[in-house]
Structure formats: structure tokens, C-alpha cells
Amino acid sequence: MSEIARKDAAGPLAGLLVADFSRVLAGPYATMLLADMGAEVVKVEGPSGDETRTWTPPSRGEDSTYYLGVNRGKRSIVLDLRDESDAALGRELARRADVVIQNFKPGGLARYGLDFESVRTANPATVYASISGFGAGAGARVPGYDLMVQAISGLMSLTGDPDGPPYRAGISVFDVMAGNHAVIGILAALRHRDATGEGQHVEVNLLSSALTGLVNHSSAYVAGGVVPTRMGNAHPSVFPYEPLPTADNDLIVAAANDGQFRRLCDVLGIPDVPDDPRFTRNADRTANREVLRPILTERLATRGALEWFDLLVAAGVPCGPINTIDGGFAMAERLGLDPVVEVGEGDRAVPTTRHPVRFSATPAGYALPPPRLDEHGPELREWLSKEPEGDRG
């Protein structure tokens, strides 16, 4: 990115310029992942900044931890697109960019000359990614919030106790899923551009991400005509595949095939149970789960969850304790995953979660902390006002 390029960028996407006109979660999550992989991400914010800057508590100092969690590795510039001079800088940024990503209401950027058609006219090689709630057709008028999509998609109908109300997932799961789908689409489009020189429009919407993300439940309806219902923590097609009580805490046990179930019973000291015709196959165990469950829980009550975890994992049986978030990080540390890294240096250093993909030759980088509002505005404005060194800066 010319004179303002990150000198330390060495990931697989080093040298790629991303113009990020997104805000809140799905788009910023996607661009953070791209930044981790070496892309130069310019975060364009309105005068009041990304909403998540103010989403507290919790906070770290004056910064929202929500904002910190999805905005590392970026540079911030404030552009008031209602001001023509700022809009012109936005258009120039898009003209120079390899990737443009935005999650405005469909059609919302056209008035500023920042819609796909306008950007493509100025820069045919740009990969332009749009994230919306319900697509750019009839759903364009519907605001796109994750909670709405959890309700509309059917996820909430599957979450909670069978006799209780539907529940949302504990995170904005479809925002995160759509962010991941945006990254996949962008990388695929860049591969096409490398082969042809041609950019394209990559469109992602939360509802489509949700319906594909419901996987077996979607297939139950689409392929089988079955509308799944809430089963609490139980699985409709596999048993045991749920939390079971131990001497202290519940333990998730996921013995999803016959071999795993036999090993589970061996460790529990009930090796004859898999030979019982009621429990021989997965279909049998699922049909007779109410008979099998107390047999398993009687044995599990003799030890604690963590002790069973070590014994069962050693035998190749999938299982795990039900942790709070701190326990999840502690388990990742115990398993050698080094889940926490520091981004930035000195007073600006912030602990953050490690990028989820490990590369043997081009590791992710964590040089830039989440930017303060317009932190890089002056240098970016100066850069955008100069003639570019080539077709893109």
C-alpha cells in the first residue's frame, strides 16, 4: 500500500488492500481475519464511529471489549460520506483497493458512488463484498440483525428446553458465520481475479448463512419433510450425545458411533452393555435412550467430570466438561493451543484471541491494535490525495 503499507505484513495476504466500509460485527469480523493474514485494512467510520465502540460494559479502560474483539490489525479514517470531499476520498480508496467490503442497507452506498457498479466502473479488478440481513431483493427493506435471523431462520425453535420457551444462542452466531462466509467468498473471488484479472460482486446474507448453518436440521426439512423441534441438549439422531451428570459437574459425552460407545462402556466398567440388542447400534441406542441414560449416569456418578474427561479422552471417547468462558481458555492452554496473543506494543498492547487458522509458512500477525477513531486519518487523507504509484496504490 505504497508509503503507508505495513512493513511487518508477511501473512498470506500481504500486499492486499481492503477498504472496509462495514461496522458492528459480521463485516468487521471478516476484515479482522483478513488483516490477521496480512491484508492492509482501512476501516472507514462515520463521525460518531463504529457503534460497537460504545457497547459497554464490559470495557478495557475506555475501550469497549466488543469493539476490541473484532477490530485488530486495521487503520481507522473518519469519512462523512454526506460531505462530497469525504465521499470523493472514499471513492478513491475503493478505486485503489483490491477488496471493498460493506454492510450498509442494500443500495445505501449508491448515492455516494460506492455501490458495486460504480466501484467496478472505476476499478474492474476489485472484489466487492456486500453483507446484508436478507439479501438485496425483496429482503432489502428488512433490517438485518442477528437476533432477528436467529428467530426467522428457526434456530431459536431448536434452542432451549422442550417444555420451555425458545432461546437465542449465547453469541451472534449468524453474524460470525456470515463473516466467515464473506472471507471464503472474497478469497475465492481473488483466486478468480488472479486467473482472469476480473473482479466480481460477492454477496452474503445472514439468513442464507443461517439456513446452511442449520445443516442436519435444514436437511431434515428439505430432504425429509421433517420439521425439527427443541430437544434441550439432546441430539435427534445420536445417543449418547449430550451432557450427563458425574460426581460433581455435567460432562458432555459424544459417543457418536458403535466403536466409541463400546470404548465408553469399557472405561465405565460396563463392557457387556454394547452387546445388549437394545443398544447395539446407534439407531437402537437413540430409540432406547431413556433406558440407556440411567445405566450410564450410574457409573458416571462414581468420579468427577475432569477425571472422566482424562480417562475417556485417553480411550478415544469424545467428551468434555461444561465450562464458563475462563474455563474454555484454560482448557485451550492445557491442550497447547496458546489461545491468547497480544496485539500491539507498549501501552497500546491488548490481549486478544489467536487467529483460528495456523499457517506453517505464512503465520498470522498481530502488529496493529484496534485503532482509535480516525487514528490514521491524517496519513490516509494525505495518501489518498496523492497520485497513486500504479493502477492501485
Determine the residue type at 309.
F
Residue 335: closest CA among 313, 316, 353: 313
Residue carrying C-alpha cell 508509503: 3
Strand partners, 60: 63
Active-site pick, 163, 175, 194, 391:
175
Please tell me the distance from the alpha carbon of residue 373 to that of residue 371, in angstroms, as a whole number.
6
* Residue 175 designated active-site: yes
| 99 contacts 30 by C-beta, under 8 angstroms | no
**How far apart, in whole angstroms, are the C-alpha atoms of residue 105 and residue 199?**
22
List the one residue out of 175, 173, 158, 275 whose CA is nearest residue 226.
Answer: 158
- Omega within 30 of 0 (cis) for the link into 58: yes
Strand partners, 342: 351
Show the beta-strand stretches assigned E in the chain: 17-21, 40-45, 59-60, 63-64, 74-78, 99-102, 127-132, 201-205, 241-245, 250-254, 319-321, 340-343, 350-353
Does residue 282 contact residue 257 with C-beta atoms inside 8 Å? Answer: yes
* CA of residue 125 relative to chain centroid, distance: 27
Question: 229, 126, 142, 244: which is closest to 186 by C-alpha?
Answer: 126
The answer to whether 267 touches 196, Cβ cutoff 8 Å, is no
Angle, helices 173-196/146-153, rounded to nearest 10 degrees: 100
Q: Which of 335, 333, 308 is nearest to 322 (CA)?
A: 308
Q: Which residues are catalytic?
A: 175
